[in-house]
């Protein structure tokens, strides 16, 4: 399921990072790598704040939809 479907405060494992090569590389540089753990902190107005690799990152809903978790 996409990251946008995860409840806040629930740690989950990244299964796949989709999108164009440029988008995948951008997300991987932020710490969204397959096998990594990500936790949604909050989702407000289409933007999400997530904890990934001990950092808080803000991403848009369109980017979050490209990150498959489970």
The domains of the chain are located at 3-64
Say what the pLDDT of residue 50 is.
Answer: 97
- pTM listed for this prediction: 0.90
Given a contact cutoff of 8 angstroms between Cβ atoms, the answer to whether 48 and 4 are in contact is yes
Which residues of the chain carry a pLDDT beneath 50? none
Identify which of 54, 55, 52 has the alpha carbon closest to the alpha carbon of residue 13: 52
Residue 45: the pLDDT is 87
Architecture of domain 3-64: Roll (2.30)
What pLDDT score does 46 carry? 85
**What is the spatial distance between Cα 32 and Cα 16, in angstroms, rounded to a whole number?**
9
């Amino acid at each position: 399921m996409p990251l946008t479907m995860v409840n806040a405060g629930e740690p989950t494992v990244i299964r796949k990072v989709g999108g164009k090569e440029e988008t995948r590389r951008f997300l991987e540089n932020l710490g969204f790598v397959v096998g990594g753990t990500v936790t949604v902190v909050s989702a407000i107005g289409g933007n999400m704040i997530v904890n990934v690799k001990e950092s808080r990152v803000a991403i848009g809903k369109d980017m979050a939809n490209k990150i498959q978790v489970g």
